[in-house]
Chain A
Amino acid sequence: MSDFPIAGADAPAFALRDRNGTPLAFGDGESSAPATLLFFFKHDCATCDLTAPLVERLHGALAAEGLRVVGVSQDAPAQTTGFVDRHELSFAVALDTALEVSAEYGFDAVPALVLAGDPRQVLFSFEGFVKRDLLELTRLAAQACGAATPEIVRDEDQLPEHQPGCGSKVHDPDVARRLAVRRGAATLGARRVRIPIDDDPFEFMAAQGLDDGLPVVPPTEERVLRMLQGTMRPASAVVAHIPPNLAPATVEKIAVNAVMAGCRPEYLPVVIAATEAACTDAFNLHGVLATTYFATPVIVVNGPIRHEIGLNCGGNLFGQGFRANATIGRALQLLVRNVGGGRPGGVDMSTLGQPGKFTCCVGENEEESGWEPLHVERGFGRNTSTVTLFAGEAPRAIRDQLSRTARSLGASVGLCLEAMAHPKLHRMGEVLLVVSPEHARTFARDGYSKTDLRARIQEVTARPLRELLPDDECQKGMALSAIPRELLGSDGRPTPDALDTPLAKFKRDEDILIIVGGGTAGKFSAVLGGWASGTTGSIAVTREIRNERSSSA
């Protein structure tokens, strides 16, 4: 669709330069010409060659009557000179090498002729060569100058009635892309940082502390604009306030950090949803970040988007080699660092950290599960895509290649989970259990539900309170505050009867989050321990990934 201005519209003003570098402007109020003819051309266009002598004739006939003719060349100076010399043009020619004026005029083909009256109202315009239009333009130009219509077209010219123009250079693919960047960049609000010419961009960004220890992709305007194609949300929209500084994370800042992390545009909605989820009160990202413990945001993705973006749900689930997994988790970490201001040695006080603090994002292997996937359990439709954020430790192994029944395998899982954090610590909060496809099949074969598995874990981990208290053998044990009140006497100590009361590893069955994930071979599952649960700790949060991708993406 062309935006070429037709009669009655305003012809955009411009300020270009001629081949000598002398300013050549249109519509700046300096010229008192009753009419101006703009002639857009490029040097290697036969239709421009056909038209140029006629424009020159028009100039010869009406310049004295006040008509101002301005050629606008889409080419570099040398090529422009070739064209001007070939046609012995005597009117002024402006260079639009950057094609910004051509783009603003919006014609699709050259030559493009625009006759504008005083001051800038378009009297007539056309693209390509159309004899009838040229005659009409001549008549209107003469009329505007109060002169008689000159004879521009002669019989010996043997002009065709019509000859299509050539494509405006604005539509050359790389030009169109460059112009789009220049236009789009104006909509981006982030501060521009110029990397010194003698600096390697990667070294510069590392020196500025913008990375996570691995190189980051420089977030140029072009890359950020491309990233923003991944969402229909406006760049300036504030998605969340990121701890610890509670700085606003706009869609644009998220896109900038997603570029740095190496994301593709189609991952952006996942990063946005993960940011939203991480910045809720329930998830308590500030606490997750500030703790000396191992916790970091673990992103679990459910629903159709897993396949749309190639997010790994299968083999090497927590491992390397999958761009979506690697970069989505990394983008969230970079946002915490760059926008939120949370850095190791600063607010991030983790004693040992863990590899997941670079990135941790996995998809549930819904296809290998006989159970409802995590997001359906948590109230979302199966065809809805979601992120669930869990503040977790690194995954650790649950190994059982021998169990042939669900009951036995459930016991193995429970016994392995008992060691989480410390075997004597019971009544704990959330934990994320990742059941491998082979283990999932063992459970499915016996019709074991997630509820059954949770109950089995609780059953095999239940220990009498006396075994869980600090003693001489091991001074670590359950804190009195973690023991149910009804087991405590008036002195605040456990009553003698209470010491035989069995307490399970987890305070509530539903705090055992279960997904299926990983490759189809291997009778191993994994557990990711949690951090402090409840209102002072972190509670897993699920958010819908809105289907917001721009159709033009």
Chain B
Amino acid sequence: MSESLVILDPTDERAPLGRRPASRPDRLHGTLGIIDIAKPRGDIFCDEIERLLHDRFPQLDVIRLQKPTYTKPAPGDLRDEVGERCQAVIQALAD
């Protein structure tokens, strides 16, 4: 594995540098995607998560997406679909 490059911060260091995770909403809304990474038994876990979300957040739209293989990053079209449709993502179940 190639090493990632480390640089010295050229700023006054008042603000953080680097990638920041997305800001979180106060509550789940819109469409939530459950992405099954296609490992054995992950589907049962995802089914149960979906059921629990329906129970708790009846207005939440839960959709299921399937990653072709867990061994590689998701293909661009899956990422784009997530980008277009989802307001939140659960990716499961890495083992």
Are A and B in contact, CB atoms below 8 Å, in the complex?
yes
- B1 nearest CB neighbor, chain A only: A197
A192 and B10 form a contact (CB under 8 A): no
Q: Once bound together, how far apart are the Cα atoms of A201 and B19, in whole Å? A: 13
Are B11 and A339 interface neighbours, CB within 8 A? yes
Total number of residue pairs linking A and B with CB closer than 8 Å: 77
1/0 per residue, CB under 8 A from B, across A183-207: the answer is: 0000010111111110001000100
In the bound complex, what is the Cα–Cα distance between A224 and B8 (angstroms)?
8
Structural contact, B7 and A201, CB atoms closer than 8 A: yes
Q: Give chain A residues whose Cβ lies under 8 Å from the Cβ of B7.
A: 192-193, 195, 201, 205, 218-220
Complex Cα spacing A436 to B16, Å: 48
Q: Given the complex of chains A and B, what is the CA–CA distance between A156 and B12 in angstroms?
A: 70
Question: Given A256-B8, A338-B10, A340-B12, 17 more contacts at CB 8 Å?
Answer: A190-B10, A190-B13, A191-B13, A191-B17, A192-B6, A192-B7, A193-B6, A193-B8, A193-B17, A194-B5, A194-B6, A195-B7, A197-B4, A208-B18, A219-B8, A339-B12, A341-B11
Are A191 and B9 CB-contacts (below 8 A) given A196-B19, A208-B17? yes
Cα distance, A539 to B66, chains bound together (Å): 66
Q: Number of A residues contacting the other chain (C-beta, 8 Å)?
A: 31
Q: Is the CB of A218 within 8 A of B9?
A: no
In the bound complex, do residue A193 and residue B2 qualify as a contact, i.e. CB atoms below 8 Å apart?
Answer: no
Are A194 and B10 in contact, CB atoms less than 8 angstroms apart? no
B contacts, CB < 8 Å to A: 1-14, 17-19
Tell me the dominant secondary structure on chain B's binding face. Answer: loop
CB-CB contacts below 8 Å: A200-244 with B: 201, 205, 208, 210, 218-221, 224
**Contact of A253 with B4 in the complex, beta carbons under 8 Å:** no
List the A side residues contacting B2 at CB < 8 Å. 197
Residue in contact with B6 in the complex, picked from A221, A247, A256, CB distance below 8 Å: A221
Q: Does A260 lie at the interface of the complex (its beta carbon under 8 Å from any beta carbon of B)?
A: yes
C-alpha gap A220/B5 in the complex (Å): 8
Pick from B9, B10, B12: contact of A334, CB below 8 A: B10
Query: In the complex, what's the smallest C-beta–C-beta distance from A167 to chain B, in angstroms?
Result: 28
Is A196's CB under 8 angstroms from B4's CB?
Answer: yes
Confirm or deny: A257 has a beta carbon within 8 angstroms of a beta carbon on chain B: yes
Residue of B nearest to A208 (CB): B17
Query: Are B12 and A218 neighbours in the complex by a CB distance under 8 Å?
Result: no
